[in-house]
Amino acid sequence: MVFSQSTYLDYHMRIHTGDKRYKCSLCNKRFCQAGNLQKHKRCVHSDVRPYDCPYCGQLFKLYLSLKQHVRIHTGAKPYSCRYCSGCFSRLDQLKFHLLQSHNEGTWFSCYVCQKKFSRIGNLKIHIRRHEDVKPFICSVCPKRYCTGFELKRHEVVHSDNRGFACGFCAESFKRKSSVLRHFKICASALSFDFSETLNEYDRLHS
């Protein structure tokens, strides 16, 4: 692999040497690059969402997440398969398709149960569950979790933030699952056929 600057080569070599000199002060996770540490802190330990969808107003922590979400509204599928007519809205979907349908790429296998994964990150999370490693610790109570997503889902218990609202009565909820359950009840009480609307709500907020 060729690099235009020695700095880029140094960054790349850290992947091979395992040099993770940047440590998160909140969960002790380490990273090869300072930028990856900052991204981790934004995604896992912060509630700041500076990017908003121009179609539905949903907020995102990363610009990349917003770009991927907007494709739900526009229907854009910029990633196409070189072997068939398959088109995908995300690169990871294309890579999984190439692995599953055309045997291109590398499966990552669990050394414990031999389960296969298309992404090394998913394999690492899976292995943590086997080894009962839970590096993400709640700052309010002693509970620990395998992933940052699971920690954020738990932290809702300690928060007063109610980011999901019913479109009929405007009652708000902490969790998406709660507002979906309520939405069914509210729609039924109004004799409204909610199936199509519910599917759309679920799609836009997934």
Q: Which stretches of the chain drop beneath a pLDDT of 50? A: 196, 198
Compute how many other C-beta atoms are within 10 angstroms of the C-beta atom of residue 201.
Answer: 19
pTM of the entire structure?
0.57
In this prediction, residue 128 carries a pLDDT of 94
Q: What tokens appear for 114 in the block?
A: 């031999």
**pLDDT of res. 193:** 54
Provide the token pair at 61. Answer: 């922590």
Cα–Cα distance between 106 and 58 in angstroms, integer?
A: 35
CB atoms within 10 A of CB 141: 11
In terms of C-beta density within 10 A (0-12 exposed, 13-18 middle, 19 or more buried), how is residue 179 classed? buried
CA distance 170 to 187: 12
pLDDT of res. 8: 65
Closest CA to 69 of 56, 86, 50: 56
Interhelix angle for 34-44 vs 148-155, to 10°? Answer: 30
Instruction: Give pLDDT, residue 85.
Output: 95
pLDDT recorded at residue 123? 94
User: Which residues does 91 contact at the CB level (< 8 Å), separation at least 6?
Assistant: 79
Place of tokens 């943590």: 128
